[in-house]
Structure 1
């Protein structure tokens, strides 16, 4: 079912480091790559590749030049960070080399998109990317450059007619939505914790795109506490029908691991097993609707030892056509590396011991008293008619 797969990796991406105590600990990237290597997923048929950092002309596809200049100034002198651009804040403190590290991550996502579009790879993964909060003119939510939006913009530049972006991070994919709010060629779909209870307080079902691009944004705002069954029910009640109706040339997905029940910054209760199941469905959607063309990115995730490496290693394995049995024991060599780097004990298996089952919305019907079903129906009513679909 799966063909050639490319994994984007450059050790220098771990330089994306906001400093001690910041939730976006780059150790999560290093541990993920070490786990990928422990399972041999960095060998044929997977091609590991490092792309160049995104240059100015590429960054301009999404970001304003004055903002890029502000990032470069703060990168050269962190004391020069300008809060007007979201830099030097608690979420996005400036650090030396910030422009270079951010542009390198963006370059990996753009490189992944280019590889898939040109046919060098059927699937491409950049788990270091998915920095979906960065806006055209400012940093936000631990994100400096919006690599996801840049990858999509590059696909359009290369000739893609329609791109679907699926974001399952616990936080709303606001920066990507904003970048393509007026562009009917891009459908952004975001499943996230309800904006009443979580940053960035956007992603309401009524947000469906600008005039002339109606239906280009779909938002499923999930109640806090939603677990595997509800999360999967919502995903399958919205995403497959919209993807089928839109008819994309390529699918770009963002797999933030912060929906997990151990994540310290949010309030959903999803397992690694359900996250793996959604990655498998994204893979299937790519083969069903766009000849397998799939660009998969990382995202948030702040349980940096127990959750992030397992979730993204499953993602790489699925893209590689070598899915891992969830009951697989984790190699001891990796657990030893975890302890050396973090002084924490790593997980022992690639599963949380959950069976990711759910009631299908189409089969079981709508329960008007259920908050999850209310959220699902609100999204379907808001956006499905724009695609000729029944809510």
Structure 2
């Protein structure tokens, strides 16, 4: 472990791994897979594959998290990637919705389900769902999804089939039931419906190919691909992101290190001192070492709410001063706001105006200087992706 990384080194490597370092095809923005793709839908799917999973509970934000990493694509390309069965929206880990390449969802669930499904019986007891009712609801759902075929069903229509089957169900059951059938790999959100959001489909009929990984091989894959798409990380980062235990994360890391896919490095603090102990031990994809340290960082980015730039780690200090965390997650309620990023560091938040003319309001952190002219270009990219008016960029009042 001879290499040591400064906070700036970590930041640069993370931005490159996250696909946010540039638009030239060599650094972020487009991976080597993206460069060989000829259509927007495949470029979007390539981003999802490379990232392994992107936080996806906020549908509009999730689309931009893909689009910002594939410059020149549009939200229609995201929809086409879903409609063509390349990507799905489901619960691969941590009990949280993500966008995942279709071939990856099942093995990821098999590797992580033991952590999230263990608490389901207690939740159902609280909701008043017994095993017999659960079985009826699941069976009815699967029959309805099979009948719908590739057209899929929205949440309301699926729930209506429960009523039509004579099941006495409660409104607060719906989320749990949809989560349950998706978390168990029976369904996923696939094609885009008339309302503009993915519809539920039976995975048995929708996903045409799945990778076959289990046990230590799956843990190895998680560690390798997490490192490739997130940059330098600590054991606890991988454990938090996957929802696995630290012991399980260590198994994956050890296997990846043995295969040569991960290298150990040490962290230095801002004063240049080597950080001792577990807090100072990082793991990195060897391909990120070297030239990445001198690679330029993009001046400005407008990133989506819940972007992996922050949500990809438990330790985010290179990207975000901890004293500003409450400004990103007001009330610490778990709702991450969209962020303004200068050279990889979060310096404020932004919000679109809900007017026909569009426009962007930026709320800088105390002491931060915002280049509204530079953000105007990023705002135009966002607007072009969504096919709406860009409007102006102004400081929030």
TM-score (norm 1): 0.29
Q: Which has the higher helix share?
A: 2
The higher radius of gyration belongs to 2
Q: Which has the higher strand share?
A: 2
TM-score (norm 2): 0.29
